[in-house]
């Protein structure tokens, strides 16, 4: 993906997530306002019912004007214009508040016109359903003779608790936003490291190939000289230079191919491929290079698969080459081919030094080499098994490694028929 397109997607995603978060916070605020309004309406109706109850059994008439006044968010006064007892008032308040699901603490006080003070102040605990006397400082109101005041000290916390779902949803969105930002940061960092790595590999291989070409040209020229051919030691040293230069050139080509394949998938030309002939050809070439190599093929019949012949040959070569490199004795490799559950499975079992369980999952990683004495002795860049895994993935094959019971490992490839 191009950097410009990636940046556009990142910005759009960030704007969308922030927009959703802001909308959620606005909805939460609006929900709080609606909840506050609904609470106020319930309190208003409940207090009107209390007034009706106080007038029952009396000769007085209900006030014509609305007796309930909301002074502030949590403070109400009720004009009764009739004498009443505080115990009766408290009973009616508890009853009507319970009826309208006003489940929070409240405090009340009555106005005494003789002393011109708010008296009988009590705090009612909703949870314990108990009232206790307390010195409550309620403001007095002019032009009212018989009235009582109600205050809800925990109204804000009560309303917030009823919006628990909205706050959980908002918190979840904030967490999602943080995860998104962290993910984007990680992606950008990984992309940056990937570009640095690719640039380094391209520059490194380019800088290596120029002097290496000169070395190969000069070595080939020296090898053709009569003086060199007559001297056995000089000819041997020249051959060493040529062979090692070719080997180094092969490594550089491998690194370049891996770098190119990271940018775009390698082109696959899939055809019907017979497994056994390719195995026999690779084994024959390997045994020329390693005469002590023993390979046994265990297959009940010939199997044909859809694969790129060139890359499949490279897979087999890399697996056999790895088994030979990481073996302290005469290498013995058993290749088993069998059909299991509609799939063809190939198992490459060796008698090498093996891999510890903690490192087994990393052997297919790019540039990964197991830290050991044998790894230090073997030349390589940790690209062989990475290449094998990449080719298997592009063929939609599965590859995995397991430790053998005695020694060595088994690398298995599962191929759909």
Closest C-alpha to 339, from 416, 262, 267 = 416
Q: Which residue has the higher pLDDT, 265 or 250?
A: 250
Rounded distance between C-alpha atoms, residue 78 and residue 102, angstroms: 17
Per-residue pLDDT at 414: 92
Backbone angles phi, psi at 372, to 5 degrees: -160, 170
Residue 336 has pLDDT above 90, yes or no: yes
| Residue 257 banded pLDDT, cuts 50, 70, 90 | low
Two tokens, residue 303: 């199997």
Measure the CA–CA gap between 270 and 307, rounded to whole angstroms. 5
Q: Would you place residue 381 in the very low, low, confident or very high pLDDT band (cuts 50, 70, 90)?
A: low
Output the pLDDT for position 85. Answer: 78
Strand-pairing partners, residue 333, are 295
Q: Mean pLDDT for the chain? A: 80
pLDDT at position 276 over 80: yes
Rg, Å, the chain Cα set: 43
pLDDT tens digits along 197-223? 677 766 766 677 778 778 888 888 888
Output the pLDDT for position 157.
Answer: 82
Beta carbons of 51 and 78 less than 8 angstroms apart: yes
Considering the entire predicted model, what is its pTM? 0.45
Report the pLDDT value the prediction gives residue 59, as an integer from 0 to 100.
63
pLDDT > 90: what percent of the chain?
4
Q: Say if residue 2's pLDDT is above 90.
A: no
Kindly state the tokens that stand for 258.
């891996």
Torsion sign, CA atoms 120, 124, 128, 134 = negative
Helices (H) and strands (E) in the chain, counts: 11, 13
- Report pLDDT digits (tens) over 130-146: 777 666 667 767 667 67
Of the candidates 332, 267, 274, 306, which has an alpha carbon nearest to the alpha carbon of residue 416? 306
Scan for tokens 């960030």, then name that residue: 14
Element (H, E) at 28: helix 3-55
Here the tokens at position 293 are 């190599």
Identify whether the C-beta of residue 295 lies closer than 8 Å to the C-beta of residue 278.
no
**Domain residue ranges in the chain:** 6-162, 190-263, 270-416
The per-residue pLDDT for range 258-273, each reduced to its tens digit, is: 665 555 566 778 889 8
The answer as to CATH 2.30.300.10 being correct for domain 270-416 is no
CB 374 within 8 A of CB 360: no
Q: What span, in angstroms and rounded, lies between the C-alpha atoms of 89 and 101?
A: 18
Element holding 291 (H helix, E strand): none
| pLDDT exceeds 90 at position 348 | yes
Site of tokens 């009235």: 147
137 neighbors 115 (Cβ within 8 angstroms): no
Task: Give bridge partners of residue 271 from the DSSP assignment.
Answer: 307
Contact assessment for residue 369 and residue 241, using Cβ atoms and an 8 Å cutoff: no
For residues 387-401, average pLDDT: 88
Cβ neighbours of 361 (radius 10 Å):
11
Per-residue pLDDT reduced to its tens digit, 23-78: 877 888 888 888 888 888 888 888 888 888 888 766 667 776 788 888 887 888 88
- Is the pLDDT confidence value at 375 over 60? no
In angstroms, rounded to a whole number, what is the distance separating the alpha carbons of residues 140 and 13?
A: 57
Token pair in block for residue 217: 């040209």
Per-residue model confidence as pLDDT tens digits over 5-25: 767 777 787 788 788 878 877
pLDDT over threshold 80, residue 127: no
Confidence of residue 116 (pLDDT cuts 50, 70, 90): low
Give the model's pLDDT for residue 293.
87
Collapsed DSSP state (helix, strand, coil) of residue 242: helix
Q: Percent of the chain scored above 70 by pLDDT?
A: 83
């Amino acid at each position: 993906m191009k950097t410009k397109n990636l940046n556009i997607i990142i910005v759009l995603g960030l704007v969308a997530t922030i927009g959703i978060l802001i909308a959620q916070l606005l909805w939460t605020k609006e929900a709080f306002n609606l909840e506050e309004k609904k609470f106020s309406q319930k309190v208003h109706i409940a207090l009107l019912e209390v007034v009706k109850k106080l007038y029952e059994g009396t000769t007085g008439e209900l006030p014509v004007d609305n007796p309930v006044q909301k002074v502030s968010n949590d403070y109400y006064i009720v004009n009764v214009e009739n004498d009443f007892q505080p115990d009766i008032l408290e009973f009616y308040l508890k009853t009507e508040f319970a009826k309208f699901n006003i489940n929070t603490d409240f405090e009340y006080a009555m106005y005494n016109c003789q002393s011109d003070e708010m008296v009988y102040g009590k705090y009612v605990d909703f949870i314990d359903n108990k009232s206790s006397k307390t010195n409550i400082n309620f403001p007095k109101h002019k032009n009212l003779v018989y009235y009582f005041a109600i205050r809800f000290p925990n109204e804000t916390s009560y309303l917030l608790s009823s919006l628990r779902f909205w706050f959980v949803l908002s918190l979840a969105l904030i967490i999602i936003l943080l995860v998104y930002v962290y993910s984007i940061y990680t992606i950008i960092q990984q992309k940056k490291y990937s570009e640095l790595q690719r640039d380094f590999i391209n520059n490194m291989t380019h800088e290596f190939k120029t002097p290496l070409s000169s070395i190969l040209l000069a070595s080939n020229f020296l090898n053709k000289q009569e003086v060199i051919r007559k001297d056995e030691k000089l000819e041997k040293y020249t051959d060493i230079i040529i062979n090692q230069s070719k080997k180094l050139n092969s490594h550089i080509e491998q690194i370049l191919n891996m770098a190119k394949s990271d940018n775009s998938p390698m082109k696959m030309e899939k055809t019907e491929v017979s497994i056994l002939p390719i195995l026999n050809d690779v084994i024959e070439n390997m045994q020329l290079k390693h005469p002590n190599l023993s390979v046994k093929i265990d297959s009940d019949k010939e199997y044909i698969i859809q694969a790129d012949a060139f890359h499949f040959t490279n897979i087999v070569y890399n697996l056999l080459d790895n088994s030979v490199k990481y073996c302290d004795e005469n290498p013995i490799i058993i290749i088993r081919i069998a059909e299991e559950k509609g799939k063809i499975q190939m198992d490459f079992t060796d008698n090498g030094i093996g891999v510890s369980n903690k490192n087994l999952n990393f052997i297919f990683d790019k540039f990964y080499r197991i830290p050991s004495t044998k790894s230090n002795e073997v030349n390589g860049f940790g690209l062989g098994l990475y290449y094998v895994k990449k080719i298997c993935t592009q063929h939609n094959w599965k590859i995995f490694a397991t430790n053998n019971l005695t020694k060595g490992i088994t690398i298995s490839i599962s191929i759909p028929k």
